[in-house]
Amino acid sequence: MKNFDPSALVEPDRVHRTVYTDPAIFDAEMERIWERTWVYCGHVSQVPRPGDYYAVTIGRQPMFMVRQPDGSVRVLHNRCPHRGVQLVGNLKGNTGSSIVCSYHAWSFHLDGSVRAIPLAQGYEGTRMTRDNPDCGVKPAARVDSYRGFVFASLAREGPSLMEFLGEARVAFDDMCDRSPVGEVEVVPICHRVIQHSNWKFFMENQLDALHPSVTHQSTGIAAGRVEKRLKAQQEKVPLYYHYLSAFASSFEQWNSVQTINFPHGHGILKAYMGLRPQDPDTLAHEALLKQAYGEQRAEEYLSRSIHHVLVYPYLSVQSPLQQLRCLRPISPDKTLSEIWHFRLKGVPEAIYRRSLWYYNLVNSPATMINADDLENWTKGQWGLQSKGGDWVSFHRYFGDDREEGGVTYSNHGTSEAVMRSQFRAWSAYMSAE
C-alpha cells in the first residue's frame, strides 16, 4: 500500500470501521508497524541452553530465537537459504550443536552462518558457495533485550529498543524489582488463545476502565458475595476472591483509576486492587526486598501504582502479578494471544501461587473473565464488518484529559484517552514512508 493517508480514517475522536476489517489495511499494518518496530520475542529463560530455540512470528515472518554458545540470544528467519524450507519445525526445542535443514542437510552454526554445504563441489563456480553471506540464515536486523526480555526489529534503522519502550519499560522493572535478585524466570508453558477479532480490540480493552463493571459484572458480584459470607463467618478470605470481586467495583471507583498514555501508544492503568495484604507470606516477601534493596528503595518498588502496562501494539504486562500477554495478529479478524507468567527468583513459593491464581482465574481456558471479553471482541468484529454504521466512537471525556510533555493523563479513569492515544501512534506508524 503506497502513500497511505490515515487522516481519512482516523480523526481525533473517532475512527472508521475499516481499520479493523480491511485486509489491505491489515497488510499495511504488518509492513509498516510490525515488521519495522521492536517486537517482543520472549524471555531469555525460554532458551536456557545453547541450541535451545523458540519459534516466534514477527509480523508475517516466521522467525526463531536461539541461544548461542557464548550465552547471547539471536533471532533468525526460519528459512533455509538453499530452497527456502523452514529450519525448525516445532514451536520449541534444541537444534543440537548446529542447525540442519531436513531437506538437503545444509547446516548452519547457531548464529546462522553456514557450517557445511553437503556435496559442495556441485556448487563450484556458482554464486552459492560458502564464502557468500547469502548462504547463511538471514538474521533479524536488530536484536536487543531489557532485563531478560528479548525484542527484535526487522528494520535496520529506527529508534533503539530503549527509545521505543520509553516510560513503558517500567513494565519490566516493576516485574523484576519484586525479586530480591532483580530477575524473573518464565514458567515454560503459556495459554494460547485465538481471538476472533482484530488485534486493536484487545489493546483498547486492556486500559478500558469503563468495561469491567459491565462485562465482568456477573463474575465480580458472585465472588463478592462469597467474600462477604466468609467475612461474616469470621473466616480467612483468600485473596483470589478479591481478584474477581474487584472487577465489579462501582463506576465511581473505576472512574478514579487514572490512565497514563505515553508516546508510541504505550500506557499504564494505575493500580486498583489491594495487593499488599499483611499476611505472613507478603510480609516475608517484603522483608526480603528490604534486605536486598534497603527500606527506601524496596518501598519505592512496592508502591508503584500499576495494574497493567501496555507496550503498543502487542503487549499487556501485569507486572505486580508477573503476567504478560502478547499478541500475534493473523488476519484482520484473527489474533493469537499468548499469555505467559513468570516466577520471581528468590521469593517464597506462596507468592508464586498467588500469581498463578490470578493467571488462571483471568486467563485459563476455564476463566470467566477473559471469556466475557472474548465474546465482546468477537461481537465487536461482527458489528464492524456490518453496514450498520461507519464510525467507532472515542468521544468519552474528549478534551478533558491533561497533556504534559507528550504524555496524556486522564482526569477520569473511564476517559477514552487510551484509544485516542493508541490511534495517534497508529497513524504515525502508518503514514511513515
Shortest spacing between CB 369 and Fe ion, in angstroms: 6
Judged by beta carbon, residue 333 or residue 373, the one nearer Fe ion is 373
Shortest spacing between CB 353 and Fe ion, in angstroms: 24
Judged by beta carbon, residue 29 or residue 373, the one nearer Fe ion is 373
**Span 372-401, contacts to Fe ion by CB under 5 A:** 373
**263-302 footprint of Fe ion as x/- string (CB under 5 A):** ----------------------------------------
Shortest spacing between CB 215 and Fe ion, in angstroms: 5
Judged by beta carbon, residue 373 or residue 416, the one nearer Fe ion is 373
Judged by beta carbon, residue 61 or residue 323, the one nearer Fe ion is 323
Count of residues that interact with Fe ion, criterion CB under 5 A: 1
Q: Are 380 and 388 in contact (CB under 8 A)?
A: no
**119-148 footprint of Fe ion as x/- string (CB under 5 A):** ------------------------------
**344-373 footprint of Fe ion as x/- string (CB under 5 A):** -----------------------------x
**Span 223-252, contacts to Fe ion by CB under 5 A:** none
Shortest spacing between CB 255 and Fe ion, in angstroms: 16
Question: Closest-CB residue for Fe ion?
Answer: 373
Shortest spacing between CB 408 and Fe ion, in angstroms: 22
Judged by beta carbon, residue 259 or residue 282, the one nearer Fe ion is 259
Shortest spacing between CB 275 and Fe ion, in angstroms: 18
Judged by beta carbon, residue 57 or residue 378, the one nearer Fe ion is 378
Judged by beta carbon, residue 105 or residue 214, the one nearer Fe ion is 214
Q: Footprint of Fe ion on this chain (CB under 5 A)?
A: 373
